[in-house]
Amino acid sequence: MTFHSVSDLWRQSVEMFPDEAVFQIDLDQVTHTDSAGLALLVEWLREAARRDGRIEFLNLPAQMLALAGAANLERVLAGERSPAKS
């Protein structure tokens, strides 16, 4: 989830969030991320909230949690989620 991939991911994912539902996104297969990946997660949260839904991120990569901490966004991602993967 990097600058080079998030634009396509956003276009592909914007309609995947059902209205008024809890939606889980498992990030276990994410091996590299940067601030653009973090921004995508925040946009997904915003889109789900707009539809009166909620997202739970599973297996957040440690690198993404570190970026969230540096950007003071860890509480935004906190919600109900499984522990971070190492």
Write the pLDDT tens digit of every residue in 37-57.
999 899 989 888 888 888 899
Q: Residue 3 has which token pair?
A: 């600058």
Residue 85: predicted pLDDT: 53
pLDDT less than 70: residues of the chain: 79-86
Q: How far apart are CA 47 and CA 67, in angstroms?
A: 21
Find tokens 């921004």 and name the residue: 39
Q: Residue 27 has which token pair?
A: 């990030």
Q: What class has domain 6-78?
A: alpha beta
Residue 21: predicted pLDDT: 82
Domain ranges of the chain: 6-78
